[in-house]
Chain A
Amino acid sequence: MNRYKLRTGISRALLLVFACVMGAFFALPLLWLLTAPFSTQANLSVTFPEQPSLANFEAVFANKFAIRALFQNNLIIGGGVMILVASIATLASYGLSRARVPGRNVLVYILILFSSVVSGTAAMVPLFLLIFNLGLIDTYQGVILVMTGGLLPSAIFIMRDFVDSIPRSYEEAALVAGASSYRMFRDVAFPLVRPGVMVVAIWAFVNAWGAFLIPSVLLRSPEHMPASIAFYSFYTEAGTPNITLVSAYAFLYTIPVLLLYLIVNWRFGFRFFGGIKS
């Protein structure tokens, strides 16, 4: 009995140490992101500034190009991708889950397989040509469409699992109660899958927010560039980053994502309803 206790005690202690190391590994960069922007001579170590200042932010806000990239271009691209991915994935996954389509599983897997190719480096040339021929080079629409196409299969996959987990009898009850298909979807099916829609929407937004490759290939003019590219405006001619400014910009860069998460969580919640008797 005692030996057993000792063994579990040791393994617990080891687990704790391991968890602390892992936690520190992930927490340090975040800590840096909280301290560096407010110090005047930041470096890559975490030191609390003796005299916190907002001078870095002043410098960043003076950079009109970077600010437009963050608060206009990124929001347009991220928002567009989010809305498109969430709405198309909802409808598609709902259809794939509820309709008796032969080979629907194969269809989703093939789509996923292709999506990793579509949004990957290998497809950049054909994608560029496609967008070029559509006349969408250097437009938000071009970037939004390509990113949406890349994210949709995985989004559909996630959502379908979610829709599958919702019993059909809710929808059937609404249909028998006299609702049309559209009415049933609006009143019953959509509210039930909404937590899933929110997960996919945020996931799509975050993906678009951090995207670098696709916008750098499909966009040309500086006023269309997203923030991930605008980071380079804080590099010197020689290519070395100005760490204080980069950290301040990175700080601003994370805020919209955090805000979106908090708002969605507060407004809709990521909770799952229970409530069917089984």
Chain B
Amino acid sequence: MSQITLDNVVKRFGSVVAVDHVSLTIAEGEFVALLGPSGCGKTTTLRLIAGLEIADEGRITIGDRDVTYLAPAARDVAMVFQDYALYPHMTILDNIGYPLKVRGVSTPERTARVTEVARELQIGDLLARRPSQLSGGQQQRASVARAVVHQAVAFLFDEPLSNLDAQLRLEARAFLKHLQNELGATSVYVTHDQAEAMALADRIVVMRLGKIMQVGAPLEVYRNPANTFVASFIGSPPMNLLSGKVLLGQGQFVLDDGETVIDMGQVYQRLERPPQDGQAITLGIRPEHITIHTEPRPFAIPGALYVVQPMGGETLVNVRVGSKLVTVRLFQDEPPALPEKVWLEPALEWSFVYGADGARLQ
């Protein structure tokens, strides 16, 4: 097990900068999730660590070795591919045993170790089969088994659950977390599913357009999104982002429609970088930090009821405010009976204020 560091790593494909000056340290035994929308450079970052791509700039070290220009085989990492990449012409036994075989482990020992790992991952009775004779979940386990069968210094996962159906994905997620707790291995896990990242990782790295937007523990990233991008990406349903203008004298916030006014109370004074009068800002409020009222109230924003979505344990209510749809999350299973016109009261102490550039003002 080893620490992994990326120091100002850049990778370009023609004119596309897939990874843009990424610096990151992954501690020994830490489970880090790379999270971001499609095309943000997560896979490329992972492949750079694996040695399947070579960085154009910057350094990569694993343990105390500079591996920037080393071949994949010399890096001694293990990787689980998105499509599993189980060799179709080999049995599952040979598939899982392949990393041992290239290391010259003798056949009896190899068989013994593969059998042991396979039994732990509950695919022990499938060893004689070909990959095409396995279900998606079994293939996923086989590819994880191939990764853990030898003592690699780090594990790399590229969206290993994205090919599973929703039910199986939850199961496999729990299984991966359990495995991680047992192995305590340094792991880098690529996903575009924020729930997966939150559930699995010790730390989340949010990426966008090849750049790191924020690094932090899951709850830290959830509670303190550093910018509007992270705010809109983490959390399901995502944070409500309302853009508007500051009226400093009155301590008010005017939405872009020019009509809806929110009394901000003490919020402006609490900001580290207080906004100017008339400055454009974005106000972020999580759906669970809004209360719905059926009568006007001080500090409440008027809106028109749009839809009510019962989700089982909770209920989502969409309300039209100006031209925006605001989502409210109610922790009740019974959908409330609401009139056409409602008033939303944001818990301003939980609100986030972002500048025009998207960066947080607190």
Contacts and interface: CB of A to CB of B under 8 A. Distances in A.
Interface of A: 167, 169-170, 172-180, 183, 187-188, 191-192, 273-278
Given A169-B82, A177-B98, 7 more contacts: A172-B81, A175-B52, A175-B72, A178-B76, A179-B73, A187-B98, A187-B102
B52 A275 contact: no
Contact of A176 (B78, B88, B130, B163): B78
Interface of B: 50-52, 71-73, 75-79, 81-89, 98-99, 102-103, 130-132, 136, 139, 146, 150, 156, 163
A252 to B, nearest CB: 36
Given A180-B73, A191-B89, A275-B130, A174 B98 contact: yes
Nearest to A167: B83
Contacts of B75: 176
Q: Nearest 4 pairs between A and B by C-beta?
A: A275-B88, A273-B88, A169-B85, A173-B85
Contacts of B50: 172, 176
Contacts of B150: 178
Contact of B88 (A177, A187, A192): A192
A179 B78 CA distance: 12
A277 B72 contact: no
14 contacts: A170-B88, A173-B79, A173-B146, A174-B87, A176-B52, A176-B75, A176-B78, A177-B99, A183-B102, A187-B98, A187-B102, A275-B131, A276-B85, A276-B88
A143 to B, nearest CB: 35
A49 to B, nearest CB: 48
Nearest to B133: A275
A73 B125 CA distance: 53
Contacts of A276: 83-86, 88
B102 A178 contact: yes
A188 B87 contact: yes
* Residue of B87, B103, B136 most packed against chain A (CB within 10 A): B87
A167 B87 CA distance: 11
A192 B89 contact: yes
A274 B132 contact: yes
A169 B88 contact: no
Nearest to A181: B71
Contacts of B86: 275-276
Nearest to A100: B13
A187 B146 CA distance: 16
A177 B51 CA distance: 11
A276 B142 CA distance: 13
A167 B85 contact: yes
Contact of B79 (A170, A176, A273): A176
Given A187-B98, A277-B136, A177 B146 contact: yes
Given A187-B98, A277-B163, A175 B71 contact: yes
B99 to A, nearest CB: 4
B83 A277 contact: yes
B132 A275 contact: yes
* Residue of A183, A187, A192, A275 most packed against chain B (CB within 10 A): A275
Contact of B85 (A172, A178, A179, A191): A172
Contacts of A176: 50-52, 72-73, 75, 77-79, 156
B56 to A, nearest CB: 14
Contacts of B103: 178
A176 B147 CA distance: 10
A273 B77 contact: no
A277 B89 contact: no
A214 to B, nearest CB: 37
Contacts of A187: 87, 98, 102
Nearest to A174: B98
A177 B78 contact: yes
A278 B86 CA distance: 12
Contacts of A173: 79, 81, 85, 87, 146
A141 B102 CA distance: 39
Contacts of A179: 73, 98, 102
A67 to B, nearest CB: 40
A57 to B, nearest CB: 42
B88 A178 contact: no
A175 B87 CA distance: 13
* Residue of A187, A192, A277, A278 most packed against chain B (CB within 10 A): A277
A177 to B, nearest CB: 4
A170 B139 contact: no
Contacts of A180: 73, 102
B160 to A, nearest CB: 11
Contact of B89 (A167, A177, A183, A273): A273
Nearest to B82: A169
Contact of B81 (A169, A178, A188, A275): A169
